[in-house]
Amino acid sequence: MFRRAVLDTGPLYSALVCNYSLRDIEYGRPPRLASELNVPLRERVTQQQFLDLLRSIDEKLTTSHVIAELQGLEKSRLGLRGNERLRFWRTSIELLMLWSIDEKLIRLLDMAADENFKNLIPEIGLVDTGLIHLALKHGCALITEDERTLFPRALEVGVDCRLVKQLISAQF
């Protein structure tokens, strides 16, 4: 579907949870984390299709800011402790390594110096502005779950932005 794409926090977080949930099933443990996903991703078949879709992208890009947000989401939404938390992060890092995710540093001062981006920073934030910047710089799609803020602003500035729910419905 895509040769290269920028991944937002939501899709990356969902992929990590899907991966962990499917691994639980593989190891005979009940998949308790699937309920933390958005509705289209709660089914095992859809989780696998979503991971397959992301796996099919040759070059997966994201920003250091997105990677930093993942731990906050894990803490606030999953509340894992002890060995379960350790297993989650081990399987997550394995997946990100397998995918060879390319984590880029997008500097605030570089974006602020660019007339096209300096007004976006206070409006949608550093993380989302950095994702738009990265997608434009590499001329590729941006995949997000954020249909309220990031999706419309990315489209306005000419980024091929796709919502996870659109990609999932296109799979069926």
Give tens-digit pLDDT for 93-130.
999 999 999 999 999 998 889 888 888 999 999 999 99
pTM reported for the whole predicted model? 0.93
Residues 151 and 28: beta-carbon distance below 8 Å: no
Q: Give the CA angle between residues 128, 134, 136 to the nearest 5°.
A: 105
Note the CATH number of domain 4-171: 3.40.50.1010
Domain locations along the chain: 4-171
**CA 28 – CA 142 distance, rounded (Å):** 35
Give tens-digit pLDDT for 37-57.
888 888 889 999 999 999 999
